[in-house]
Amino acid sequence: MDIRLPVHTIFFGGGTPSLLPIKELEIIFTSLDKYFDLSQDIEVSLEANPGTVSKEYLKELSILGVNRLSLGMQSANIEELSLLERQHTFTEVVLAVEWARSVGFDNLNLDLIFGLPYQSSNTWMYSLEQALALNPNHLSLYALTLEHGTPMQSKVELGLLPEPDPDIAAEMYELASDRLLEAGFIQYEISNWARVNNQGVLLSCTHNLQYWRNLPYLGVGAGAHGYANCFRTENILTPRAYIKVLNSDERIITEGNSFPRTPATVQMRPIDRETEIGETMMMGLRLTQEGVPDSVFQNRFGKSIKQLFSTQIVRLESLGLLEWVGGEGDVLRLTKKGRLLGNQVFMEFI
């Protein structure tokens, strides 16, 4: 008898899932319901480009079962949107938010990007204020990173755009952190802030918490990554090739058929205990409130954090980057200063 795996979150991530017609999404939901044991209070998130949705589309999403919407606002400045090669306008962001609220979405995230070429603290804070005026439940703020092969990276290499300045980006990050605290948001992860709803529940992204706690998840779809059964998996990248191989049941990799391998798996990397420990520390320390509780760590690995990383922790504490908190003083987390230097901290554990 087939065993249906329990699922408590589903996340339709980018590219742009909102380009999929509702009928295609219906087929996906039907399959998910058939092959998995979906929890009653499941969180179902969908990322959307504000310029690709209509009020009717958002209504159909809500009826289908999507209950968390993430809109890629990025900026309220037309020049910055152009620089990012985004096809939407800020007016379309406003409309998308209004439509989403009108059809019943009460869990709404906005993504913003800071540290852009030519972006000033004033233009950054203008975008943040415009986002706050839309009354989102959640905000994700990401520093610009130059991705290999992108037009922006090419322009920087050719000297047509200045390189991102980490000091300016850090200043923007601190300004945003102070403003969001003032606005009633709780920072629960280095790049993520959420509000508490009327039931007293912090509207953090439950799906992403699965990543940050280094817990299992399945990567489904072209280019998706997963982590299950002590393996990290990667699927074939392009949608056309992904569909072709699933239809033909031609295996990209033939050796071994252990879970979670699928016909579209192009890489399946085993994770040993040492790697799992390091990744658990690196990901868990991103959680600015929760951190890494030593009790949870010991239950998982049979040893305490101090036993395994005493030297690193003492050094990072002396630098003011880590602190022990909690009623028992057994939760290790980043200090406010440590949030700005997270990568320096994470490298100590991997």
The torsion region of residue 118 among left (phi > 0), alpha (psi -120 to 50) and beta comes to left
The three-state secondary structure class of 54 is coil
Domains of the chain, by residue range, sit at 5-209, 213-270, 292-349
Which ranges of the chain would DSSP assign to H, the alpha helix?
A: 22-35, 55-64, 78-83, 90-102, 121-133, 151-157, 166-182, 206-212, 239-248, 273-284, 294-301, 305-318, 336-340, 342-346
> Contact, 235 vs 264, CB < 8 A?
yes
Query: Tokens in use for 154?
Result: 């090419």
CA distance 279 to 319: 22
Q: Give the angle subtended at the CA of 277 by the CAs of 274 and 281, to the nearest 5°.
A: 145
Q: Are 93 and 134 in contact (CB under 8 A)?
A: yes
Q: How far apart are CA 291 and CA 56, in angstroms?
A: 41
Q: What is the pLDDT of residue 256?
A: 55
30's CB contacts (< 8 A; 6+ apart) are none
Average pLDDT of every residue of the chain: 93
CA distance 65 to 46: 10
Tokens of 17: 């899932």
The closest of 275, 313, 311 to 294, measured between CA atoms, is 313
Residue 304 φ then ψ, to 5°? -80, 160
pLDDT tens column, 84-135: 989 899 999 999 999 999 999 999 999 999 999 999 999 999 999 999 999 9
77 with 101: CB under 8 angstroms? Answer: no
Whether the bond between 15 and the residue before it is cis, its omega within 30 degrees of 0, is: yes
- Report d(CA 204, CA 261) in Å as an integer: 30
pLDDT value of position 191: 97
CATH says 5-209 is which class? alpha beta
d(CA 136, CA 103): 15
Calpha distance 138→166 (Å, rounded) = 25
**Residue for token digits 């990383």?**
309
The pLDDT assigned to 250 comes to 55
The two structure tokens encoding residue 348? 């100590």
- pLDDT, averaged in runs of 10, over the chain (350 residues): 86 90 96 96 97 96 97 96 92 98 97 95 97 98 86 83 89 97 98 95 97 96 94 94 83 63 93 97 97 97 96 97 93 95 93
Q: What is the structure's pLDDT at 151? A: 79
Query: Cα(241)–Cα(260) distance, rounded to whole angstroms?
Result: 19
